[in-house]
Structure 1
Amino acid sequence: MISRARTTAVAVALAVTAGAAVTVARASDAPATGHDARAAAWTAAWAAAPQRPSAGFRPNWSEAGFDHQTLRQVVRVTEGGDRARVRLSNRYGASPLHIAGATVARTDGTKGAGVERGSVRRLAFGGGRTATVPAGGQLTSDEVGLDLGRFESVTVTLHLAGTTGPATFHAQSFATSYRAQGDHTADTGAGAFKESTESWYYLSGVDVRDSKPHATREAGGHGARSSGHGSRSSGRGGVVLFGDSITDGFASTTDANRRWSDALAERLAKSGAPRPVLNSGIGGNMVLNDSAWYGDKGTGRFLRDALDLPGAKTVVVLEGVNDIGFSETDKPTYKPAPVVSADELVAGHRKLIRAAHDKGLKVIGATLLPLGGSDHYGPRAAAVSDAFNTWVRTSGEYDGYVDLDRALADPADPERLRPAYDSGDHLHPNDAGYRAMARAVDLGTL
């Protein structure tokens, strides 16, 4: 369970982008800030951490990019509202990204690239229907009126009329994205979208706000998919889960939203205290070292991917298994891997704690899961994991902790995952394991 500790936190909100008819984003990671007093009400309802183009474990389109094509991506929001906007990232682009058109819509109830008729909204950027995001930049759309219930799926469609070059993306989405030739941003049907992949491209966030905060609406109150939990904005601030492939949802069922972030959001809603839960995991990510495949190191991306998300109040950090385990594995994806000590890993986590506190956010630490039998396991990795977990439990440096190690351990062999929670590689949980992680959290501390 998470220990109870400090409760001071502040919401971090990013304002809606304003500017010329054709908006050019700044070259920083932060969205442009306008002067709309309502901007403080924005909260991130979905997020994904950007990565540089790479081959990945499954085929993707990041290295080739796009050329006169339409990209359609489906995500599930964990907060409701009647206004929406999207955030786009060209963080790792080598050239400006030209957006020829964009739409957002409620996803059709059936799986696939179809969207609900009558829900398609044209996105604008500073009043213009086209936009350019410079290399290294980020762009936030203008708001649109779109009534969304908590746990409703949203489809964002981008028309990329020119040649993009290599694309900033999120490698492992565990959700299907679609591509069509030409401009199909306004299509409600799925017929033109004949190609698919399991990655997200350029899309880094969907934010919502409620212009009628005292109105109560049913989740998915448009005949749409819902879990039955009310869609009214919670106002409690977002919970960001920050980490590696376990946070990212590796081995969870594709297109089923069964990551531990999904399970925690659903548990919060069922408890009567709903809050948006945002997933900032990157498969293979490390606290202390950058990787071409696995993203910027955790200490380097923490501000961008966690602390600066609109409305974030609490961050749960689960990271370090790759720092200590890559040197044990014979896989060539990160070689030569540095040998990381417990003291070095703790020092990295202390940087994360200081950064969160400097921004006024509460930060919760998580113990590393059992890794016995996996390709990350060895006597040294086991010893470092044990020492690090002891520090998380006993140091009091985090504002609280969740003991995922004990929650998922096999009672007959605590070095290993419980078989019922093991995806089969002895490192990543399955769907049941991700639900067990969510159950281990003391909701009151969040």
Structure 2
Amino acid sequence: MTNRSLAVVCGAVLSSFLLASAPVSAADNPSPWVTAWATALQPIPQISSPPPLYRAPEVAGRTFRQIVYPTLSGEVARIHISNAYGKAPLVIEDLRIARSGAGAAIQVGTEARVTFGGKPAVSVPPGGEIDSDPVRVGIAAGVPYAVSSYMGREQNLIAWHRVSSQVNYLSMPGNHTGDASADAYRQRVTQFAWVTGVQVEAPSSATIAAIGDSITDGMRSSLNQNRRWPDALARRVAQSGDKSVAVVNLGISGNRLLTDSPCYGDALASRFGRDVLAQPGVKTVILLIGINDINFAAMPPHGGLDCDAPHTQVTVDGLIAGYKRVIAAAHARGVRIFGATLTPAALPPQREAIRTEVNQWIRTSHAFDGVVDFDAALRDPADPTRLRRSFDSGDQIHPSDAGYSAMADAIPLQPVVNSARK
């Protein structure tokens, strides 16, 4: 079968899948809340002398201003806060949302205070999560918002989303949540923390959740440019005129399907319920995971912080069993899920054989509700084991901005638009 024929077949399958999975009325989504932006947390390695990439910034008594891009509009919003990996209460003394200006600045007159049970402060117990009170802020899809949280005086950062591909800001000591100016925000970081969702009241809408590893997370995409493939998909939906479908990114760089990591978070098969199925309004999932399971077994162990540990050997059957667990969890909640083929990574023959066989199962097993062939979209026609040169960011694994755009283009758009109009 040619690549073009395969793309047509996959498109037809995926079209049917998306049409079946998107909402057609408010009754399909009894809760009025729909996730418009989200991220997934991972624990920070708790060792005495971590390498620079894993040194958490000091947040106690400071204001953390995070820039987020919701992909669904709504007049009323709420903020989801997570202390999923906390060993002590997560204390936020003040939280506000506003339209983002340049850098750490916010647009004057757009700021709104976010409360919890009518109070400006909240203490989230270890392992807990909480939604804020509704706040009338007027969320516009595709527009950046600054979520500013003034942290408790003894607060430590022990969980984050490490690769945000977005510059966020830490202030000097003190409550600077209401500052329109960027003057107090002297420190830049490229992580998200605590704020794991922005939800809007939109009962006839739905969310597509993209979940996977660094290729979904957008590793090596342009900083502050929203060039990850889920971003490109969200733009295609918006440009089509559709206003009822959000796209959120729940990828974690380094994540594996089957194995937890000291740096890269819980195994996707374990975190799927919390990070995806618990998101309000999620009706559709795009799953791209497995290349790290294949690769990390061959990474040489090293002293200190070994992020690739455990170096677990995987088999095709083991990966398929993991996919089936995720599929069953999605179907048990009435969520449709389609699988994406693993993209080329210039693997040696033994590992390439696993990738090839896994992709064949994804394409032909009919275990998923639909298939997106990212492999076919990105591979070099002259050497299918490698990324096309124009789609390679330079490490032979992660796509360039153009590659991420090609991935979004490989997902049929019309079914999403049609389902929103029915």
Relative to the length of structure 2, the TM-score reads: 0.88
8 Å contact 1:70–1:159 — kept in the other structure?
yes
Matched, 1:365 2:356: no
- Paired residue for 1:77? 70
- Paired residue for 1:119? 110
Q: Secondary structure at the match of 2:209?
A: strand
Deviations 1:21-55 (Å, cap 9, x if unpaired)? xxxxxxxxxxxxxxxxx982211110000111238
Q: Unmatched 5+ residue regions in structure 1? A: 12-37, 211-232
Aligned equivalents of 1:427, 1:331: Cα separation in 2: 21
Matched, 1:342 2:316: yes
Deviations 1:267-287 (Å, cap 9, x if unpaired)? 112223342101010010001
Within-5 A mapping of 1:306-317 = 306-317=276-287
Q: Identify if the C-alpha distance between structure 1 residues 126 and 203 changes in structure 2 by more than 3 Å, giving closer, same or farther.
A: same
**Equivalent residue in structure 2 for 1:248, among 208, 217, 220:** 217
Paired amino acid for 1:370: P
Q: Identify if the C-alpha distance between structure 1 residues 153 and 331 changes in structure 2 by more than 3 Å, giving closer, same or farther.
A: farther
Deviation, 1:150, is: 1.1
Q: Which moved more, 1:297-306 or 1:325-334?
A: 325-334
Q: Which moved more, 1:391-400 or 1:46-55?
A: 46-55
Q: Unmatched 5+ residue regions in structure 2? A: 1-6, 24-28, 417-422
Deviation, 1:60, is: 5.7
Deviations 1:223-264 (Å, cap 9, x if unpaired)? xxxxxxxxxx9x341100010000001001111111111000
Q: Identify if the C-alpha distance between structure 1 residues 194 and 363 changes in structure 2 by more than 3 Å, giving closer, same or farther.
A: same
- Paired residue for 1:106? 99
Q: Secondary structure at the match of 2:254?
A: coil
Matched, 1:159 2:150: yes
- Paired residue for 2:392? 422
Aligned equivalents of 2:241, 2:378: Cα separation in 1: 26
Paired amino acid for 1:207: Q
Deviation, 1:172, is: 0.6
8 Å contact 2:210–2:285 — kept in the other structure?
yes
Deviation, 1:335, is: 3.2
Q: Which moved more, 1:161-170 or 1:355-364?
A: 161-170
- Paired residue for 1:291? 261
8 Å contact 2:44–2:54 — kept in the other structure?
no
Aligned equivalents of 1:39, 1:122: Cα separation in 2: 27
Aligned equivalents of 1:270, 1:166: Cα separation in 2: 38
Aligned equivalents of 1:438, 1:349: Cα separation in 2: 22
- Paired residue for 1:302? 272
- Paired residue for 1:384? 354
Within-5 A mapping of 1:197-212 = 197-209=189-201
Deviation, 1:166, is: 3.7
Percent identical among aligned pairs is 39
- Paired residue for 2:86? 93
Q: Identify if the C-alpha distance between structure 1 residues 421 and 10 changes in structure 2 by more than 3 Å, giving closer, same or farther.
A: closer
Aligned equivalents of 2:281, 2:310: Cα separation in 1: 39
Q: Which has the higher helix share?
A: 2
Deviation, 1:203, is: 1.1
**Equivalent residue in structure 2 for 1:270, among 234, 239, 244:** 239
8 Å contact 2:299–2:311 — kept in the other structure?
no
- Paired residue for 1:282? 252
Q: Identify if the C-alpha distance between structure 1 residues 57 and 8 changes in structure 2 by more than 3 Å, giving closer, same or farther.
A: farther
- Paired residue for 2:325? 351
Deviation, 1:370, is: 0.5
**Equivalent residue in structure 2 for 1:140, among 123, 127, 131:** 131
- Paired residue for 2:376? 406
Paired amino acid for 1:334: D
Paired amino acid for 2:67: V
Q: Which moved more, 1:403-412 or 1:273-282?
A: 273-282
Relative to the length of structure 1, the TM-score reads: 0.84
Q: Identify if the C-alpha distance between structure 1 residues 428 and 58 changes in structure 2 by more than 3 Å, giving closer, same or farther.
A: farther
